[in-house]
Amino acid sequence: MGRVQGKVAIVTGGASGLGRADGAALAREGARVVLTDIDENAGRDAAAAIGSGVTFMKHDVTSEEDWSRVIADTMDQHGQLDVLVNNAGIVIVATPEDTTLDQFRRANAVMSEGVFLGCRAAIPEMRKSGGGSIINMSSVASHLGYPVFFAYSAAKGAVRAMTKSIAVHCQMVGDKIRCNSIHAGAIDTPMVAKATEAMGIQPNDVVPESVGLGKAEDVANLVLYLASDESSFVNGAELVIDNAISIQ
């Protein structure tokens, strides 16, 4: 217990799936957690279910104004910001030929622009707080070819690249701010279930039987490590968590 005691964390996309699991893990280990999500009802339910030390803020990660408000309100309430988990995401099932421009722009607005806006807004406040850890949720889709998740893969590739630039930037200007990306695959979440349903298959059908599906808590444990001081020398890294599916 207490691995992130005294830290303040913002977790986007916190109403369900990975974000909710991340928030629960951080709160369990002593962090004060701000869950954010565009789904206000589900977000409030998630915060209440996790319990003490967790609050909810409605948040559209594509909105510059929303990011300013969420960061400012977090600083007003807690006086510091130590951890940002850029987790919010969507998935659109469409190949390069089928993807519309609106779909492509929407996916990148949430997962590429949203990460950019979050990092840009968080860095100055983390600097004032003495440093921090930015954790960007990318995907093994940034390493592999997934034609049916074309827009999603493009956005996650951008997250992978931005993470490295942010890590180096913070280091060069003397900030004690680390930035790492998580590349999960084959995780059983509502988003995966929705995507496979759209494809007319079951979640287990997308992975070999020997691999199986991971749990949201598996990823949350990695988030917890990156948020804690245990990972103080881990910076600019891309951490794959997929039970070896990406190397088969």
Of 152, 218, 223, 241, catalytic: 152
Residue 242 burial (CB count, 10 A): 21
Q: Quote the radius of gyration of the chain (alpha carbons, Å).
A: 17
d(C-alpha 24, C-alpha 9), whole Å:
11
Q: What are phi and psi of 18, to 5 degrees?
A: -60, -40
DSSP strand pairing (32-37 vs 177-184):
unpaired
Q: Look-up: residue for tokens 């409030």?
A: 44
Contact 96, 147 (CB under 8 A): yes
Active site residue 146: no
Looking at residue 227, the DSSP 8-state letter turns out to be H
Sequence-ordered list of residues with C-beta below 8 angstroms from that of 87, at least 6 positions apart, any chain = 11, 12, 13, 14, 18, 19, 22, 137
Q: Residues with Cβ < 8 Å from 154, sequence gap 6 or more?
A: 104, 107, 108, 112
Count the helix, strand and coil residues of the chain and give each as a percent rounded to the nearest 5.
50, 15, 35
Decide: helix, strand or coil at residue 173. Answer: coil
Catalytic residue list? 152
